[in-house]
Structure 1
C-alpha cells in the first residue's frame, strides 16, 4: 500500500473513531502550501486540530513519538489561518490532539490523545 492510500485508510479509521466517541468531523486534509492538518473536528465545545499517526509497532517510540516539534509548529500556524479563513472567533476554545494508531499483537489500537500539545 503506498503512503497516500495508507494515510487515507488510517485517517478514515480515525474519523470513524472520533464520530463513535461523539465528535463531529468539520474538515479533512485542510491544506496550505506550508502543510496540512489531517482532521479538524468539534469535540466537547472545542475545535480540534488532529494529527493522525500510524506505526506498525512501538519499536521506535510509537505513533505519538513521531509527532515532531516541526510538525507541531506547522499545525499551529495552519490552525491560526484556518480560524481566520473560516471567520471563527479567536475566543473559540481550540485543542491540539493526536490520534495514535498502532498494531500491537495483531490487533489495531486507536488512542485519542486530547491536548497532546500546546500552541507553539
Structure 2
C-alpha cells in the first residue's frame, strides 16, 4: 500500500469507529482551496472536524504530535470555509484528533481550539 492508500484505510477505520460511537459522518476528505480535513461529523449538535493520524509504532512519537500549530491553523481555515459554504456559521464546532497507534484507537475530543 502506498501512503495515500494507507491514509485512506485508517480514515475509514476512524470513520467506522466514530459511527459506532454515535457520530454521523457528513464528509470524508473535504477539500477546498485552503486545504483538506480528513473527516467532518456531527454529534450532539456539534460540528466535529477530525484529523486522523496513524503510526505503526510509537518510535516516532505519539500520532497527535503531528498535529502541530501549523496543521491546526490549516484545519481551522478549512473549517471556517466549510462553515461559511454550508451556512453553518452559528453551529457550535470543535476540533478532534483520532490517533491510531498500531491497533489502538484513541479519540481526543477538543484536541485544539480554532486558530485563525
Give your verdict on TM over 0.5.
Answer: yes
Counting only pairs closer than 5 Å after superposition, residues 1-120 of structure 1 correspond to structure 2 as 1-88=1-88, 90-103=89-102, 108-120=103-115
Q: Using the alignment, how far apart are the partners of 2:53 and 2:43 within structure 1? A: 19
Q: Using the alignment, how far apart are the partners of 1:42 and 1:52 within structure 2? A: 16
With normalisation by structure 1, the TM-score equals 0.92
Q: Which runs of 4+ in 1 moved over 6 A?
A: none
Aligned residue pairs: how many? 115
Shift of 1:61: 1.8
Q: Using the alignment, how far apart are the partners of 2:44 and 2:36 within structure 1? A: 23
Q: Which runs of 5+ in 1 are unaligned?
A: none
Please give the root-mean-square deviation of Cα atoms over the aligned residues, in Å: 0.9
With normalisation by structure 2, the TM-score equals 0.95
